[in-house]
Chain A
Amino acid sequence: DTAVSQTPKYLVTQMGNDKSIKCEQNLGHDTMYWYKQDSKKFLKIMFSYNNKELIINETVPNRFSPKSPDKAHLNLHINSLELGDSAVYFCASEDRGGTDTQYFGPGTRLTVL
């Protein structure tokens, strides 16, 4: 069983389009994250949700909107895609107060043409 899963794995789209990436965890964790990994492999946190509430919102353009319908899911919607949005997006989940360790999904490689 995959602990943290993301769909799709690859996403190729045109500039200006709107797209969504989905993340689900079956670990029973209460906190989830989105990270962006750029072409130089640098990982930067974007958002964090704890029990469906936004707790971290780094300086991310408001074209990016996370949504957490329940604590097992954290989706990322991106409006008006730009070339610079091309990256690998990783979802992670964490059992805060328990292991305090983040477990990562397989990543979604987004290519904006």
Chain B
Amino acid sequence: AQSVSQHNHHVILSEAASLELGCNYSYGGTVNLFWYVQYPGQHLQLLLKYFSGDPLVKGIKGFEAEFIKSKFSFNLRKPSVQWSDTAEYFCAVKTGGGNKLTFGTGTQLKVEL
């Protein structure tokens, strides 16, 4: 069964700092990869996804992620965070052809003014 690891559980950054959140998965076959964001008290929203093609994918709100197949990684990045990016970030993986979405444990990001 696939699993997803997010090593940073809590991240605190100042506004304008750069962000990189790690995500690693364990599955040897084809994967679909997702990053979701959950703002305080809200539902999960899709930030970006990777299915195939260019391993560098761009999402909403200036976020991007890079799929590195050899490292089984799909790290999320943003060059300059804002206070409004304070939220919980979830990496998720779906194995090729399946419909079960497996989530990582989430990373709580706090951006300070």
Give A contacts to B, CB under 8 Å.
4, 31, 33, 40-45, 48, 50, 55-56, 90, 94, 96, 100-107
- B105 near A100 with CB under 8 A, answer no
Q: How far apart sit A103 and B47, CA to CA, in the bound complex (Å)?
A: 11
- B94 near A104 with CB under 8 A, answer no
Number of interface residues of B (CB under 8 A): 22
Q: Is B43 an interface residue (CB 8 A)?
A: yes
Nearest CB on B from A66, distance (A): 15
Contacts of A44 in B (CB 8 A): 103
Q: Is B51 an interface residue (CB 8 A)?
A: yes
- Mark interface residues in B85-113 (1 if CB within 8 Å of A CB, else 0): 00010100010000111110110100000
Contacts of B42 in A (CB 8 A): 106
Give B contacts to A, CB under 8 Å.
32, 34, 36, 38, 42-46, 49, 51, 88, 90, 94, 99-103, 105-106, 108
Contacts of B43 in A (CB 8 A): 4, 90, 104-107
Total CB contacts across the A-B interface at under 8 A: 46
- A90 near B34 with CB under 8 A, answer no
Contacts of B99 in A (CB 8 A): 31, 48, 50, 55-56, 94, 96
Q: How far apart sit A43 and B37, CA to CA, in the bound complex (Å)?
A: 13
- B101 near A102 with CB under 8 A, answer yes
Nearest CB on B from A12, distance (A): 16
In chain B, what residue has the closest Cβ to A58? B100
In chain B, what residue has the closest Cβ to A4? B43
Q: How far apart sit A48 and B99, CA to CA, in the bound complex (Å)?
A: 9
Q: How far apart sit A40 and B9, CA to CA, in the bound complex (Å)?
A: 11
Contact status of A90 and B46, CB under 8 A, knowing A43-B90, A102-B101: no
Nearest CB on A from B113, distance (A): 24
